[in-house]
């Protein structure tokens, strides 16, 4: 049995929430998890959508990269 350990160099994760505070909390929790994998935040992109009924919807994409 061969075990191969490859280093994760790039990881992109998507997040969504009904309010900005929840979105930020989800992203911060994942940042802490990815620190164990030696990944740091390289780039964050976010959007807000307003539905016809006026409800706001927040989403974000976070690009993590390996620390060098």
In a domain, 42, yes or no: yes
In a domain, 44, yes or no: yes
In a domain, 3, yes or no: no
Q: Mean pLDDT per segment of 10 residues, for the chain of length 68 residues?
A: 81 96 97 93 96 95 92
The sign one gets for the Cα dihedral 25, 31, 48, 57 is negative
In a domain, 60, yes or no: yes
DSSP states along 4-55: ------EEEEEEEESSHHHHHHHHHHHHHHHHTTTEEEEEEEEEEEE-TTS-
User: What is the domain range of residue 57?
Assistant: 10-66
Q: What is the pTM of this model?
A: 0.83
Domains identified in the chain, total number: 1
The pLDDT of residue 67:
81
């Amino acid at each position: 049995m061969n075990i191969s350990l490859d280093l994760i160099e790039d990881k992109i994760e998507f997040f969504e929430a009904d309010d900005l505070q929840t979105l930020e909390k989800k992203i911060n929790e994942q940042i802490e998890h990815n620190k164990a994998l030696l990944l740091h935040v390289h780039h964050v992109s976010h959007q807000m959508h307003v539905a016809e009924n006026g409800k706001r919807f927040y989403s974000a994409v976070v690009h993590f990269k390996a620390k060098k």
